[in-house]
Amino acid sequence: MSAASKIGVIDYGGGNIRSLVKALETLGAAPRLVRSPEEFENLSLVFFPGQGAFGDCMAKLQSLDLVDCLTQWIRDDRPFFGICIGYQLLFEGSEENPGVEGLSIFKGQVTKFPASELKVPHMGWNRTQLRKTDAAPWNDLGPAPYFYYVHSYFPVPRDSGLTAATTDYGTPFTSAIQRGRLVATQFHPEKSQKSGMLLIQNFLTENGATSSH
């Protein structure tokens, strides 16, 4: 089995994962959908994409018995890329569904955009200010690439050292985090054309999961 076929995509029965699967296939990878703990076996890296409500997504992860294996994967510092709700669920809770506990990998809450003249959800392209432009997987993207966003909530990490990128939409917010071999983004790289595909490719390359052409 090639390294490229060891890429897992969490499929919790909701959200939008087809665009990520298609992006990975375009890059020459052969991702596998992960719907049970057993399907984590033999994986080399995991993507957690999707859209949906915080509480609903946590309930689906619990019903599929994916919470423990997912948190263990991350705590073991194995390659992980979270997108949109796959980023928000890494934190303790969300204003979207008060009282629902997230994966609690990191301390902090997911909060709603404050009231302003700007339309919510934040939808469309926005400039993303990178903290480190020379470090993988952000290399070759430039200091402020544009990525595509669709969200009404965003995490506020307790540890500012996690922040890999920030974006401004009426208020500045942490649009990406990085720790060890974990990367998570509020934006959708799989929908962000050249910059997004380069970010995914860089992540695959960094973690030895590029395909041979």
> What is the CATH code of the structural domain delimited by 3-206?
3.40.50.880
Q: Please give the pLDDT value at position 5.
A: 66
User: pLDDT at residue 190 above 90?
Assistant: yes
Q: Whose structure tokens read 């992006």? A: 23
pLDDT at residue 15 tops 70: no
Report helix, strand and coil shares of the chain as percent, to nearest 5.
30, 30, 45
Give the pLDDT of residue 104. Answer: 98
Does residue 31 carry a pLDDT above 90? yes
Task: Give the predicted TM-score (pTM) of the model.
Answer: 0.95
Q: Which positions are annotated as active-site residues?
A: 84, 188, 190
Q: Considering only residues 16 and 94, tell me which one the structure prediction assigns the higher pLDDT.
A: 94
Q: Which of 125, 146, 160, 132 is nearest to 195 (CA)?
A: 146
Q: Give residue limits of the domains in the chain.
A: 3-206
Mean pLDDT (whole number) for 103-111: 98
